[in-house]
Amino acid sequence: MLDLQLLRNDLENVVQRLAARGFALDMRSFQELEQERKAVQIRTQELQAKRNQTSKQIGVAKSKGEDVSAIMAEVASLGDELKAAEEKLAYIQNQLDDVLMTIPNLPHESVPAGKTEADNVEVRRVGTPRHFDFAVKDHVDVGEGLKLLDFETAVKISGARFSVMKGALARLHRALAQFMLDTHTQEHGYTEVYVPYLVNADSMRGTGQFPKFQDDQFHVCADNLYLIPTAEVPVTNIVRDEIVALEDLPVKFVSHTPCFRREAGTYGKDTRGMIRQHQFDKVELVQIVHPSASYAALETLLGHAETILKKLELPYRVVNLCMGDMGFSAAKTYDIEVWLPAQNTYREISSCSNFEAFQARRMQARYRNEKNKPELVHTLNGSALAVGRTLVAILENYQNADGSVTIPAVLRPYMGNAEKLSA
RNA sequence: GGAGAGAUGGCCGAGUGGUCGAAGGCGCUCCCCUGCUAAGGGAGUAUGCGGGCUUAAACCUGCAUCGAGGGUUCGAAUCCCUCUCUCUCCGCCA
């Protein structure tokens, strides 16, 4: 949510910056609505002030035993107009709210202009894609070849976009999550948190999934709860409606959770394999920081995610998302893309964003500033990493000619020191 | 699932229809006092939104907010209804 004050005081500039990221804000209708709000609010408050004042007089007069019928008649005449004014104000404010809740965040000045993925700017490449002297298989063929990955059974149990992993592959999946958690807690100073996977609508609103992306979420109707699409939702909402002490900033959480996404509107996209699933695991980093520190925090958080890929010795690149390709709530986003030899391309494995105060304003997440006044925090998060896609990258990059897969050195302690997955 | 009790500021806690945004305490800030420390005295200290105001701060002023939403009333923290959550007891359960 953007600051209403900013929209009032600097609308033209806001409209321009939103247009740059592909969002058309109807300036005239906003102004009209805002003007009406102002007039109705002033009138409503006048009437309320009058009613309050008169009612107070009644109390005073009664306590002195005076006759109050004249004053009561006076205040009674306010009733209808006041009620109408209050209703109209509530209606207008709801409309303004609806507009406000569907406006995306303003991009930071360091975000490149552009409309699509093609306009994203590569920041760096790390590692060199391995040369294969045999025909590379994709992760589906590698996994199924080892009889450790089974999509047919997943279809029987649940349907498309689910997977079943077995044996050493299931263990490797678990090992990856453990390795990521250990790295972030032991080397990067994050506190591990275990959180609910079902959340209420307020939490979804807080991080920006609602109201705009309601259709993308799994909804448990009987209890009116939603399956989390990312740990970002429960973890960031830890500070919803809270005032964090200045000395407790930055707050750094890491959490390993499953993520559930309906993937509405992606029919036909990435239908093969584990790239795009309704359910996948992710290790998520979340930081709650002082506003002056958020851009520095974004760089270090990105570095923390990169560390995992470096330790796994997987080639990757970092891209700075252009305005048109950024998510709804983000002010700036870096994606990390891992090399997938079978696709002969880099594919997203992490997304690290600074939301500035956009989520904090929706959540009323604040800290006490140097003057002891509550002020909105800045929030950030990043995947570090998406576990399923990391597994895909290992299967493809570490595959051998005989169909086996070498286990990256850092994972072997988690795998009973095994060196390979083999049939 | 059944029965009961409760939800008030940063925290604790009083308040059952009228000058209550809310006693008192704790905490915090400032000032005074005291060689230091400890103790003491005084003042201040909720949030959101609007208006004054064309930028920011400060200030003045209005409205709203006592778990949430409705209702009764000239007037609601207080009375009524619905919901949410917490606690206690019973039942069930990994």
pLDDT, residue A423, reads 80
Is A389 tagged catalytic?
A: yes
Residues 6+ apart with CB under 8 A from A60: none
Note the CA–C1' distance, A242 to B13, in angstroms: 21
Q: Is the CB of residue A58 inside 7 Å of nucleic acid strand B?
A: yes
pLDDT per residue rounded down to tens, chain A (423 residues):
898 888 888 888 899 999 999 999 988 888 888 889 889 999 988 888 888 888 888 888 887 777 777 788 778 777 778 888 888 888 888 888 888 888 999 999 999 999 999 999 999 999 999 999 999 999 999 999 999 999 999 999 999 999 999 999 999 999 999 999 999 999 999 999 999 999 988 899 989 998 888 889 999 888 888 999 999 999 999 988 888 888 888 999 999 999 999 988 888 888 899 999 999 999 999 999 999 899 999 999 999 999 999 999 999 999 999 999 999 999 999 999 999 999 999 999 999 999 999 999 888 888 887 777 788 899 999 999 999 999 999 999 999 999 999 999 999 999 999 999 998
pLDDT, residue A296, reads 96
Name the helix (H) or strand (E) containing A225. Answer: strand A225-227
CB A254 within 8 A of CB A283: yes
Name the helix (H) or strand (E) containing A352. Answer: strand A345-354
pLDDT, residue A397, reads 97
Note the CA–C1' distance, A8 to B7, in angstroms: 37
Nucleotide nearest to A224 (CA to C1'): B84
Note the CA–C1' distance, A248 to B38, in angstroms: 30
Chain B nucleotides with an atom closer than 7 Å to a protein C-beta: 10, 18-19, 28-29, 46-51, 54-56, 62-64, 74-75
| Among A133, A141, A176, residue whose Cα is nearest residue A403 | A141
Is A351 tagged catalytic?
A: yes
Is A21 tagged catalytic?
A: no
pLDDT, residue A127, reads 97
Is A350 tagged catalytic?
A: no
Neighbours of A259 (CB within 10 A): 23
pLDDT, residue A281, reads 97
pLDDT, residue A156, reads 94
Nucleotide nearest to A78 (CA to C1'): B74
Q: How many helices (H) and strands (E) does chain A have?
A: 13, 18
Nucleotide nearest to A368 (CA to C1'): B10
Q: Is the CB of residue A60 inside 7 Å of nucleic acid strand B?
A: yes
Note the CA–C1' distance, A225 to B93, in angstroms: 22
Alpha helices in A124-241 (DSSP H): 139-145, 151-157, 167-186, 201-207, 232-236
**How many Å apart are CA A303 and CA A314, to the nearest integer?**
15
Is A51 tagged catalytic?
A: no
Which entry of A261, A361, A362, A366 is annotated as an active-site residue? Answer: A261
pLDDT, residue A241, reads 84
Note the CA–C1' distance, A171 to B24, in angstroms: 60
pLDDT, residue A327, reads 93
Q: What ipTM was reported for this prediction?
A: 0.84
